[in-house]
Amino acid sequence: MSFQIPRGTQDILPEQAAKWQYIERIARELCRRYNYQEIRTPIFEHTELFLRGVGDTTDIVQKEMYTFEDRGGRSLTLRPEGTAAVVRSFVENKMYGYPNQPVKLYYMGPMFRYERPQAGRFRQFVQFGVEALGSNDPAIDAEVIALAMDIYRSLGLKKLKLVINSLGDVESRKAHRQALIDHFQPRIHEFCDDCQARLHKNPMRILDCKKDRDHELMRTAPSILDYLNEQSRTYFEKVQMYLQKLGIAFEVDPRLVRGLDYYNHTAFEIMSEAEGFGAITTLCGGGRYNGLVQEIGGPETPGIGFALSIERLLAALEAEGISLPISEGIDCYVVALGEQAKEEAVALVAALRQEGIAAEKDYQDRKVKAQLKAADRLHAAYVAILGEDELQKGVINVKHMATGEQQEVSLDIFVSHMKNVLQ
């Protein structure tokens, strides 16, 4: 019987894993500069967390969650997104009491959604995200957006578009909600079953429908921007002002909704405009969620964050023809000739590795020519050749592969010599 990988998942092979590691390093370093600290939450949580935190009118909750019962009859769900779990941890561990506020966190790890696999979209995918909890300052909205943009720019992406919107506060949302109901209700029978179910539960989610996005009522639907009260309008203007001060170009799109129920005030998406990237252009999405902490059982605490898919980031890099500056190859390959030399090579390779040098040797009893070919395939910077004659003389021949320059080095100083030449 042969086994195949489950649909919607992927193996990340060694040659690809190096790209992932590079991206993760960039993201972690930028978080360090922005003073965001890493948090790691479980891969599965109680299902109720996502019902309350993500929203029971969302596609994620209604159609895409991997939910199961454990042996104790408890309903558990593989996490479909990261924010709800981070906020749960924030509440459970009383981070709202930390002396340094806001609490600025980032996470990175696999998420799971049962959706139709397509280019750049998987049922198991990796998200990187940040959450800033505890500040109502519009400047931190701009900071969160700037961090997301910095990640993409640091990796060389140029064909990016930032789109922002305001979803308003509770009062603004309430007025807009009624306007949407009045707008869609006379012809709601022309929409899909999901939209019909959402009309009175969460009519703004109709604007995010993929099936009916070309319906004429979508184009004429009331804009949230026309229903912002003075406080919400002022807040949104300040976010835009801060983005301008940071030199970040943006477009205001009153149709931008985002797919999760917990958003209010600022909402944003970063899209790729690279030719051939595909129909789904969104790379990153986020926004403010001032009521989520209370919904999950904590005190009134404002929050804002974003999440991005590593898979879609890689696809955007490919679309723009960007090669990451990944260092390939090892520092030194030790070629051994004869039994005594092979025994000595084991110790030499171990000593090199102890000094932080990437080293390798032959483990298949190959001839010299085959070992040299192996060193070449591994892109070894140096090859050190040790035979019986060299052992008797207490030396080893070190060859620089790029120049062909070769020199005889005493075995006693071989490791220190390699450290010097590599530096």
Q: Which residues are annotated as a binding site?
A: 81-83, 113, 127, 131, 258, 262-263
Q: For residue 398, give every residue at least 6 positions away whose Cβ sits within 8 Å of its Cβ, in sequence order, or none.
A: 382, 383, 384, 385, 406, 407, 408, 409, 414, 417, 418, 421
Give the CA angle between residues 349, 354, 355 to the nearest 5°: 100
Q: What's the CA gap between 122 and 289, in Å, rounded?
A: 26
Q: How many CB atoms are closer than 10 A to CB 297?
A: 11
Here the contacts of 27-33 (C-beta below 8 Å, separation 24 or greater) are: 27/106, 27/108, 27/128, 27/151, 28/106, 30/147, 30/150, 30/151, 30/154, 31/106, 31/130, 31/147
Q: What's the CA gap between 124 and 44, in Å, rounded?
A: 13
Q: What's the CA gap between 339 and 337, in Å, rounded?
A: 7
User: What tokens were used for 105?
Assistant: 């966190």
Q: For residue 97, give every residue at least 6 positions away whose Cβ sits within 8 Å of its Cβ, in sequence order, or none.
A: none
Length of the chain: 423
Q: What phi, psi does 270 have (nearest 5°)?
A: -110, 130
Cis omega (within 30 of 0) for bond into 117: no
DSSP 190-221: GS-HHHHHHTTT-GGGGGG-STTTTSHHHHTS
Binding-site residues for L-histidine: 81-83, 113, 127, 131, 258, 262-263
- DSSP, collapsed to helix, strand or coil, labels residue 167 as coil
Q: How many CB atoms are closer than 10 A to CB 326?
A: 10
Partners of 267 in beta bridges: 165, 287
Question: What number of CA atoms fall less than 13 Å from residue 374's CA on the CB side?
Answer: 19
Q: What phi, psi does 12 have (nearest 5°)?
A: -100, 100
Q: What's the CA gap between 141 and 147, in Å, rounded?
A: 10
- DSSP, collapsed to helix, strand or coil, labels residue 274 as coil
Q: What's the CA gap between 341 and 111, in Å, rounded?
A: 49
Q: What's the CA gap between 34 and 164, in Å, rounded?
A: 21
| 152, 166 contact by CB (below 8 A) | no
